[in-house]
Amino acid sequence: MDPVQVAADWGLKVAVEEFGDAARAVAAEYDPRLKTIRVNARVLGDRCDAAGTLAACVAHELYHHLEHIGCVRSRPGGRQREALADAYARRYFDLAVDPAQVRRTLER
């Protein structure tokens, strides 16, 4: 299953955008109001596995969409919640790139 296709099937847009300096370390974000998954162009720019990176980011954000619509219980606490989103992404999609690794790349 391709997470980008799943996003489209669920009525979500996927947009690659420049996040700017304030959000340099954010790989992607889910905007429930605009039903959009925004992916930081910085994580894709210089990677030879850009397609895999995009898929990993979108798969992770799909979990936040499921939280938003109440299909999974939303939990407070940033780190644990992000780990759950990563686990969801790995479990349901055949990813070439680990979503947690994408974030670690940005934290450098």
Smaller CB separation from Zn ion, 13 or 75 = 75
Q: By Cβ distance, which residue is nearest to Zn ion? A: 85
Residues in the chain: 108
Cβ distance to Zn ion smaller for residue 2 or 29 = 29
Neighbours of 48 (CB within 10 A): 7
Query: Shortest gap between Cβ of 106 and Zn ion (angstroms)?
Result: 12
Q: Smallest distance, Å, CB 35 to Zn ion?
A: 16
Please, which residues have CB within 8 angstroms of residue 8's CB and are 6 or more apart in sequence?
14
Q: Are strands 28-31 and 13-17 parallel, antiparallel or unpaired?
A: unpaired
Q: Which residues bind Zn ion (CB under 5 A)?
A: 82, 85
